[in-house]
Amino acid sequence: MLLCRLLLLGMLRRFIPQPLKPLARIALKFFHAIRWAFFHPYYVIATSRPVWFHLMNREGRANFRRNPAPLDGIQERIVSDLKAEGITITHLDDLFPGRRLLPELEFHARQALAAARVGRKKTFLRYAWLNSGDTILLDLADPLIRLAIEPRALETINAYMALWSKLDFYSLAATLPVPDGSAEQGSQRWHRDPGDKRICKMFLYLTDVTNNGAGPFYYVRASHEGGRWRGVYPPRPDDGYYPPSGDIERIIPHADIMTCLGRAGTIILADTTGFHRGGYTTAQDRIMFTAAYSAKWSITHPIKYRYPARFDEALLPLLPIQRYAVDNR
């Protein structure tokens, strides 16, 4: 859906003579209206609780019920926060006590970013591995990928999702500073991610983000499914929602807009069907690892990585919950 719209917009800009562009824009709006009329009923039905939880994702739900994972106090607090507010903040040292994971992850991230490239869509980001939107080769030996499928992380996220989830996307990127006052681009603006009933993303700061100039993540509390602000510009299936500039600050009380500051090693877990933005930095590079988790039968979140040769051998040491998260063949 989103790809079709981008192609049409590209054709509108490049190939249609200027005098005909107003008429073409009217035709494009008509196309969107027709598309929405047909797709919206499907989306409403597919994301209803009986269909989404109990029919489309019955396998993930059954795995979750058959393999209950006892949560400790930290994990229970995280899940409680996610259910109530759609977001929570913790730290590597708290979620993975005694492991001292940060030094290895920081070193690995800086090595990976040495060959980073500026994103095609998000030009304010330098991506390791491949540019945003490309299909990344899944390397289970990568320390950041190992973190994304750590059993404690998956158990916590699955408890929020109420099913065994899939790792559908990950990225490592450095945010490029911009001059103060520069216009916000793309995901630097308030938006909702397109998706299902629930999505969960892990954001790991690998540099200190201790002031607004360092590019913090922002979130509207309780704008996720079931939250008090869910009805404000509710998510659309193909592109989430990007509200007009200034509307979120005008509608949402300041107390419900959360600024996520923290030192390196800070982990933010958020349901990104809720309103969020980030990556607007004016002071320094911000290095962040992102991992996204969704249900197996996700409407708008296809898996964005491919498998290496001899992948079955790489799966052997993993626990069932980990294999389920990454094996989508």
pLDDT for 92-120, tens place per residue? 999 999 999 999 999 999 999 998 888 77
Q: Please name the residues in contact with 277: beta carbons below 8 A apart, sequence gap of 6 or more.
A: 184, 187, 188, 189, 190, 191, 217, 218
Asked if residue 270 is part of any domain, the answer here is: yes
In a domain, 20, yes or no: no
Residue 89: which of 262, 214, 230, 220 has the closest Cα?
A: 262
Q: What is the per-residue pLDDT for 19?
A: 66
Q: With pLDDT > 90 as the criterion, what percentage of the chain qualifies?
A: 60
Question: Percentage of the chain surpassing pLDDT 70?
Answer: 84
Domain containing 262: what range? Answer: 72-326
Type and span of the H or E element at 247: helix 247-251
Average pLDDT over residues 285-298: 92
- Residue pair 316/60 in contact (Cβ under 8 Å)? The answer is no
Q: Report which of 280, 261, 259, 285 is spatially closest to residue 106, judged by C-alpha positions.
A: 285
| Residue 32 in this model has a pLDDT that exceeds 90 | no
pLDDT at residue 329, as a whole number: 83
Q: Residue 116 — φ and ψ, nearest 5°?
A: -70, 155
- Residue 132, pLDDT > 60, answer no
The total number of structural domains in the chain stands at 1
Query: At 50, is the pLDDT very low, low, confident or very high (cuts 50, 70, 90)?
Result: confident
The predicted pLDDT at position 185 comes to: 83
- Banded model confidence at residue 1, pLDDT cuts 50, 70, 90: very low
Count of beta carbons in the 10 Å neighbourhood of residue 83: 18
For residue 131, name the pLDDT band (cuts at 50, 70, 90): very low
Q: Is residue 25 part of a domain?
A: no
- In whole angstroms, give the CA distance from residue 302 to residue 59: 18
Residue 289, SS3?
A: strand
Radius of gyration, CA atoms only, the chain: 20
List the structure tokens of 182.
């520069």
120: CATH = 2.60.120.620
pLDDT digits (tens, 9 = 90+) for 234-263: 887 666 788 999 999 999 999 999 999 999
Of 195, 182, 191, the residue nearest 247 (C-alpha) = 191
Judge whether 2 lies within some domain.
no
Report whether 163 contacts 60 (CB < 8 A).
Answer: yes
pLDDT for 321: 98
Residue 53 in domain: no
For 97, phi then psi, to 5°, come to -65, 140
- Looking at the DSSP assignment, which residues form a beta bridge with residue 217? 260
> What is the pLDDT, as a whole number, of residue 315?
95
Which helix (H) or strand (E) element contains residue 2? Answer: helix 2-14
pLDDT of residue 212: 87
In a domain, 279, yes or no: yes
80 in a domain, yes or no? Answer: yes
Structural domain includes residue 27:
no
3 pLDDT higher than 70: no
pLDDT band at 81 (very low <50, low <70, confident <90, very high): very high
How remote is the C-alpha of 198 from its chain's centroid?
Answer: 11
Q: Is the pLDDT of residue 314 over 60?
A: yes
